[in-house]
Amino acid sequence: MTVPDALRATGLGFRYRAKGGWILRDCEFAVPTGCITALVGRNGAGKSTLLQLAGGLLRAGAGELRVLDAVPGTPEARARVALLTQDKPLYPRFTVADTLTMGEKLNTTWDRTGAERTVREGGIAPSARVGELSPGQRTRVALALALGKRPELLLLDEPMADLDPVARGEIMATLMAEAAERGTTIVLSSHVLPELEQTCDWVLLLRDGRIELSEEAGELRDSHALLTGHRDQAGNLAEPHTVVRRRDSGRQTTALIRQHGPLRGDWHVERPRLEDVLVGYLQAGETQRTAGAGRTEAAA
Amino acid sequence: MKGSLWLAWRQQRMLVGVGLAVLATAAVIAAYSRSGMLDALRSGLFDHCGTGPLHCAQTGTGLPLLLDTAPLKVLGALNIALPVLIGVFWGAPLLGRDRELGTHRMILAQGVSRGQWFASRFGLAAASTTVISGLLAGVFAWWWRPAADRSYGLFWYESTVLNGSGPRVVAAALFGLAAGTLLGLLVRRVLSAMGLALLATGATALLLEWAHHVRLLVPPLTYTSPGSTPKAPMGDKWSTGHYGLTTASGHREDVMNCPFPSGSRLSDCMDRHGYVARFYEANPAGDYWAFQWTDTAVLGGLALLLTAVTMLLLRRRI
């Protein structure tokens, strides 16, 4: 193994208090370097916790997480990994120029022109106080701070949450350019699934603190099928395929399956978009929880 | 480390500036007021005054003759308030502001470790506190010297002198900083941390003041004299207010049982009651340093302890 994984977890677990519930549990996955990874999960699934663990802000309670083969929080990892947390904290009384100077002082490597360009592209005056910027502009300054250290691995926690669609597109373009030019590995958590379709080439899906998927995006999309057909033949699906999610309405059944081998029966087959697959997995946990045993039996 | 020191300086330069401005103001006023004091002393007006605690009177009017020590007392009061001010305005926001804004996450996500983040900002604050409080205590000592332990000046045991001068001022200021810093780490809101720092440092100051008054840490000496000869004068000693007569067994009784000046009537009265000596309790002037060093040890020890607790909690809380 010559190129280390960007992220590698073995038996990773985390909880805030010794007697508290596990936020993350038994996570096993590896994210290769050089790709853009979408970290997907519902609220409270543990996305922020995972990113903060990787950024060295939290310490694993069980197992191990490695970033670029380094232990998060060590000087080596700090120099190579940048993390932008969800609240994008900045000093409100600093000017934008002060904030970038701070980045220059705090980091061993610093790309001044790059950081200044990121800010300028957002039309932000260097003399403006951070506290007086709009949320979108603040995100851009925080992103400039993260990009300025020239990280090999960039961790972004909901970077687009408070941006308008235009700003979103611009920021995304900045990120794509960064990834393309320097081969930066990017892991970003997001709820905006359609946007991930074009940008991401790896998917990490968290559900209730456990890793549900860690897979190449294209493969994930291609291996799934969206079926519509008569309810009577639904029983045939479970073997040899994996039913991710199934919904019965009247005599009709729609199902998202991971296909293993040829399909039997009379089904209308659609190739799902990445978004459909992800939503399917996100909803799957819900159906099991709310629908209870009855429907699971029917599916078996 | 250089980078985090830059940030620490960038964020604390206001406080350092205010501290230095206060120091400069105090020094200017001290120089002016002290030269006035020296002029008054040189005029010969005070030459007939004794060393005791009793005021000497102006010839003619009989009013007490005093140096103008009011501004000196103000500096003493400022030095007493120093741990409270530093704890509230410097200690509490030191880590608390970052905790409230969440900005420590941004700093730690840059090339800075927890240890550097804490050490740089606490180190700068502690160094500035030591220098500023030390110089303020020094200004006080220099200003006080001509008026020290004179009936027309200030005695060493007065609160503004005992608490507002010497090494204890530095120890108290560092204690205030450490207490404020820890509270800022423990409490999520800076304003609450400031309020708690006010309570903690204020309560500690009052507690030590009380300990001085009951002589908890520096016990007084007992001065005895037989009834036949005059007793040793109180002079610049700090009386506890306990005095009277002692029996052979060491039992102490009220002085009003024999209310006479030293002489044969007093001796007779004492013999009749079985008293062997008169006594009073007081701390000699040399105990200024005993008070200073016990306070310095207590406050400095607390400062170290609180800093150690802060460093231990740093890993769990941040």
Residue in B with minimal Cα distance to A104 = B3
Q: A299 to each of A228, A255, A271, how far by Cα in Å?
A: 15, 11, 22
Chain B positions touching A103 (Cβ under 8 A) are: 110
Q: Is residue A1 part of a domain?
A: no
Residue in B with minimal Cα distance to A89 = B103
Which pLDDT value is given to residue B312? 93
Answer with the one of A182, A203, A219 that is the final residue of a domain.
A219
Given an 8 Å threshold on Cβ–Cβ distance, is B110 in contact with A103?
yes
Do A53 and A140 have their domain in common?
A: yes
Do A110 and A230 have their domain in common?
A: no
Given an 8 Å threshold on Cβ–Cβ distance, is A57 in contact with B108?
yes
Q: What is the residue type of B84?
A: V
Instruction: Give the domain CATH number at A125.
Output: 3.40.50.300
Q: What is the DSSP string of B116-160?
A: HHHHHHHHHHHHHHHHHHHHHHHHHHHHHGGGBT-TTSB-TTSHH
Give the helix/strand (H/E) hosting B245: strand B238-247
Do A13 and A115 have their domain in common?
A: yes
Distance CA B173, CA A143 (A): 40
Which pLDDT value is given to residue A55? 92
Do A208 and A240 have their domain in common?
A: no
Answer with the one of A219, A250, A283 that is the final residue of a domain.
A219
Q: Is residue A2 part of a domain?
A: no
Structural domains counted in chain A: 2
Answer with the one of A179, A195, A219 that is the final residue of a domain.
A219
Do A227 and A127 have their domain in common?
A: no
Compute the nearest-CA separation of B101 from chain A (Å).
6
Do A22 and A37 have their domain in common?
A: yes
- Do the Cβ atoms of B56 and B48 come closer than 8 Å? yes
- pLDDT tens sequence for chain A (300 residues): 567 899 999 999 998 888 888 899 999 999 999 889 999 998 888 999 999 999 999 988 899 999 999 999 898 999 999 999 988 899 999 999 999 999 999 998 899 998 999 999 889 999 999 999 988 889 999 999 999 999 999 999 988 887 888 888 888 888 888 888 888 999 999 887 777 878 888 999 998 889 989 988 888 888 898 888 888 777 777 777 888 888 888 888 888 888 887 877 788 888 888 888 888 888 876 655 444 433 433 333
Compute the nearest-CA separation of A127 from chain B (Å).
16
- Do the Cβ atoms of B7 and B107 come closer than 8 Å? yes
Q: Which of B6, B106, B114 should we substitute to test contact with A (largest number of A Cβ atoms within 10 Å)? A: B106
Given an 8 Å threshold on Cβ–Cβ distance, is B112 in contact with A106?
yes
Do A170 and A123 have their domain in common?
A: yes
Q: What is the span of the domain harbouring residue A278?
A: 223-299
Q: What is the DSSP string of chain A?
A: --SPPSEEEEEEEE-SSTTS--SEEEEEEEE-TTSEEEEEE-TTSSHHHHHHHHTTSS--SEEEEEETTB-TTSHHHHHHEEEE-TT----TTSBHHHHHHHHHHH-SS--HHHHHHHHHHTT--TTSBGGGS-HHHHHHHHHHHHHHT--SEEEEESTTTT--HHHHHHHHHHHHHHHHHH--EEEEE-S-HHHHHHH-SEEEEEETTEEEEEEEHHHHHHTEEEEEEEGGGGGGTTTTSEEEEEEEETTEEEEEEE--S---S-EEEEPPPHHHHHHHHHHHHHHHHHH-HHHHHHH-
Residue in B with minimal Cα distance to A53 = B109
Do A164 and A262 have their domain in common?
A: no
**Would an 8 Å CB–CB cutoff place B15 in contact with chain A?**
no
Nearest to B7 among A73, A89, A106 (CB): A106
Nearest to A91 among B103, B111, B113 (CB): B103
Spell out the residues 6+ positions from residue A294 whose beta carbon is closer than 8 angstroms to its own: none
- Do the Cβ atoms of A216 and A223 come closer than 8 Å? no
Residue in B with minimal Cα distance to A102 = B7
Nearest to A85 among B4, B11, B105 (CB): B105
- Do the Cβ atoms of A88 and A137 come closer than 8 Å? no
Domain boundaries, chain B: 2-42+64-217+287-317, 221-283
Nearest to A82 among B4, B10, B109 (CB): B109
pLDDT < 70 positions in chain B: 1, 51-52, 318
Q: Which of B99, B108, B114, B120 should we substitute to test contact with A (largest number of A Cβ atoms within 10 Å)? A: B108
Do A111 and A229 have their domain in common?
A: no
In 3D, which of A47, A29, A35 has the Cα closest to residue A161? A47
**Would an 8 Å CB–CB cutoff place B109 in contact with chain A?**
yes
ipTM score here?
0.82
Given an 8 Å threshold on Cβ–Cβ distance, is B110 in contact with A73?
no
Nearest to B7 among A82, A84, A102 (CB): A102
Given an 8 Å threshold on Cβ–Cβ distance, is B109 in contact with A85?
yes
Do A52 and A146 have their domain in common?
A: yes
**Would an 8 Å CB–CB cutoff place B7 in contact with chain A?**
yes
Do A122 and A231 have their domain in common?
A: no
Do A181 and A245 have their domain in common?
A: no
